[in-house]
Amino acid sequence: MDGIGFTTTAARDDGYCPVCNTKNYDRWMLRIEADKERKRREDEETGVIESERREVAERDRQDNCGKDDGTVKYSDGGVYVGGLKDGMPHGLGRMEYGDNDDNAIYYNGRWVDGRHQGKGKKVWWDDIWYEGEWKAGMMHGNGKHHVNDVDILNGRFEEDEFCD
């Protein structure tokens, strides 16, 4: 990564990698550790949601509700694993997005008739994510939207708009 150019704080070389500027090694290592911790939390969360999905699916099978579990592979490269109803995501499930204009990576949580509904987490490129309540595929209810390390919106959302 290139430096940040002219500054008044004498920190011009802060943006360089540790190979180009050895003074940045400690900060670089902290960033790597933070990324590892974030990945570990996501993996734990996936495990919790996956076990909850299995419990709900088993309950549905016992109640004979007619819901199926399955995997759907889409032509854009996306893959959905979870509950299905009439061939559409329904119940708990995870969608790994393929090529899309939204730059979404995945959504993990509840679905109703093919849309995000209830609690779930959606992750986009550049470490942007929203975790909270959804309605009709939109952020709606209480949640936390991490736009970047400075802009973190925590509170109430209505139809993808932050209200607090």
Query: Quick one: pLDDT band at residue 136, thresholds 50, 70, 90?
Result: very high
Percentages (nearest 5) of helix, strand, coil residues in the chain = 30, 40, 30
The first and second tokens of residue 114, run together, are 């093919």
**pTM greater than 0.75:** no
User: What's the pLDDT at 24?
Assistant: 72
User: What's the pLDDT at 65?
Assistant: 44
Tell me the average pLDDT of the chain. 81
User: What's the pLDDT at 15?
Assistant: 63
**pLDDT digit string (tens) for 42-92?**
888 877 777 777 776 566 544 434 446 788 888 888 899 999 888 789 999
Taking 70 as the threshold, does the pLDDT of residue 162 lie above it? yes
d(CA 42, CA 107): 12
d(CA 5, CA 19): 18
Give how far the C-alpha of residue 148 lies from the chain's centroid of Cα atoms, to the nearest Å.
Answer: 13
* Nearest CA among 90, 95, 94 for reference residue 111: 90
Q: Residue ranges per domain, the chain?
A: 15-162
Taking 70 as the threshold, does the pLDDT of residue 120 lie above it? yes
Please give the share of the chain, as a percent, with pLDDT higher than 70. Answer: 79
Instruction: Say if CB 35 and CB 28 are below 8 A apart.
Output: no
Taking 60 as the threshold, does the pLDDT of residue 100 lie above it? yes
Taking 60 as the threshold, does the pLDDT of residue 35 lie above it? yes
